[in-house]
Amino acid sequence: MIDQGWFQGLGSGFNGPSSQFIEDGTYTKLREISVAYTFDGKWVPNLIGLTSIDLRLAGRNLVTWTKYKGIDPETNLAGALFATQGIDYFNNPQTRSIVVSVGLNR
């Protein structure tokens, strides 16, 4: 067939990763960080009748430092399946999330 060599040879990424598709995937990631504080001074029961207030702030997947050109160096097309590790094709990056919570203790 015409151009079959391109699809089955080095011109295509459909037959496994070839050398032109391989790059350094090292990275450093700020995976998770959180901070919490409990307000339990005398003003809390006097002001609103509670014993304490807990305030929490957490973030996940906030920053990734890498020279990798793809979406995310930690992503993988088939999940944890060993046979296809390292394939970055139609993948989604890990989600970034920020959570704020308030606990009112009586």
Arithmetic mean of pLDDT, 86-104: 86
The pLDDT score that the predictor gives to residue 70 is 82
Indicate the pTM of the whole model: 0.65
The C-alpha angle 79, 12, 85, rounded to 5 degrees, equals 20
Q: Which residues have C-beta within 8 Å of that of residue 61, sequence separation ≥ 6?
A: 29, 30, 31, 32, 94, 95, 96, 97
Per-domain boundaries in the chain: 23-105
98 band by pLDDT with thresholds 50, 70 and 90: very high
Average pLDDT over the chain, rounded to an integer: 82
Residue 12 has pLDDT above 70, yes or no: no
